[in-house]
Amino acid sequence: MPVPFRDRLVATVLGAAIGDALGMPIEGLSHTNVRTYYKGIKEMRADEKREDLGVGQWTADTQRARALCRALAEAAPDSPEEVRQAFEAELPDDAALRRPQIHSPSSALAAASAPLGVQARLRGLKNLASARWAALLFGTVDGHAVAHVAAASQIGAIRTCLGKDPDGLSGPDVLAAAHEAALDAEQILSADDRVSSRLGTLRDHLEDYPLDLQDLCAGTGPAADEAFPFAVAMVARSPALVESTLLAAVNVGGDAAAVGSCVGALLGALHGLAPFPDAWLDALEDADAIRAEAEALADALGG
């Protein structure tokens, strides 16, 4: 039975939050340490080593995405400047939320891009328009053009997933959409080609094991050409499988929350919420509020 389109819109946002919460406990850990300390993530877990967050809690990736969701729903949705102002007002006055503490462009923007993917689909925005939106809205979070490219690439992949019948979309189609969006964004934003090059490298390796894909990305650290391309490749590798694909992706380690966010958004856009285990949604912090925000976003954008 076809999944209702509305469910796929909502699942894009909720799926990103679920993936973030799954990856949260092992954020920053190597694959070896994921296996040593957690025996692999198979369900929602607390951050048992650092003891920062509990079961089902999410990171700044979802906090940014929720702020963006509310801004798009509350401001005039076709006015980039109004949405930018609303987004900045929604962000807590927290430097870590506004500027990731790394020295290179990060995957944080891609991890927060689910609402913009929904917008791109419902408003018919193509790659260049989405790249402009990403650069304007996310400048407060990360001013580097390459980070905006990663966000635009995730938006393009989400738009493609939402626009296709899941049974008619192949894994290479997902990666191709992300690659094309990255190329377009690099051109319009005058960014270097590290994101599109990485996605291009992965194109011929979608049958490789996750750790091999991680190696091809030079790791799954927070950089825009590491965690994000790896996440897209994991979905492209097994787009029909939700639970196993999401768990395999986060268990590689590295920037597991960003990887989980990107993978969860893409799988939600493809399949809706039904394939996500009920226990994950039940444990997710503020699940009802996030669902309501996603519903309000869809309403504001005509979905």
Q: CA–CA separation, 186 vs 180, rounded Å?
A: 10
Q: What is the pLDDT of residue 50?
A: 78
Q: What is the pLDDT of residue 73?
A: 95
User: Number of C-alpha atoms within 13 angstroms, CB side, residue 169?
Assistant: 27
Q: What is the pLDDT of residue 168?
A: 83
pLDDT bracket for residue 99 (50, 70, 90): low
Handedness of CA 7, 13, 14, 18 (dihedral sign): positive
Over residues 102-161, the pLDDT tens digits come to: 457 999 999 999 999 999 999 999 999 999 999 999 988 888 999 999 999 999 999 999
Q: CA–CA separation, 272 vs 113, rounded Å?
A: 17
Q: What is the pLDDT of residue 96?
A: 47
Report phi then psi at 223, rounded to 5: -60, 150
Where are the alpha helices (H) located in 126-188, listed in sequence order? 127-138, 145-162, 171-188
Q: Is the distance from CB of 133 to CB of 109 less than 8 angstroms? A: no
Bridge partners, residue 99, by sequence: none
The CATH number linked to 285 is 1.10.4080.10
Q: What is the pLDDT of residue 303?
A: 80
Domain holding 102, by residue range, is 5-300
Q: Which whole number is the average pLDDT over 222-246?
A: 97
> What letter would DSSP give residue 223?
B
Query: Which stretch, 42-51, 133-142, 172-181, has highest mean pLDDT?
Result: 172-181
Bridge partners, residue 106, by sequence: 223
Q: CA–CA separation, 272 vs 132, rounded Å?
A: 28
Number of structural domains in the chain: 1
| Token pair of 45 as six digits | 């877990």
Q: What is the pLDDT of residue 97?
A: 56
Contacts of 114 (CB under 8 A, 6+ apart): 12, 13, 15, 16, 65, 69, 158, 261, 265, 268
Residue % of the chain over a pLDDT of 90: 85
Q: CA–CA separation, 213 vs 270, rounded Å?
A: 22
Per-chain mean pLDDT for the chain: 94
Name which of 187, 188, 159 is nearest 174 in CA terms: 159
pLDDT bracket for residue 195 (50, 70, 90): very high
Beta-carbon count within 10 A of 296 CB: 15
Q: Please state the residue numbers annotated as binding site.
A: 59, 61, 255
pLDDT bracket for residue 290 (50, 70, 90): very high
Q: Which whole number is the average pLDDT over 82-108?
A: 76
The rounded radius of gyration (Å) of the Cα atoms in the chain is 17
Q: Please state the residue numbers annotated as binding site for Mg(2+).
A: 59, 61, 255
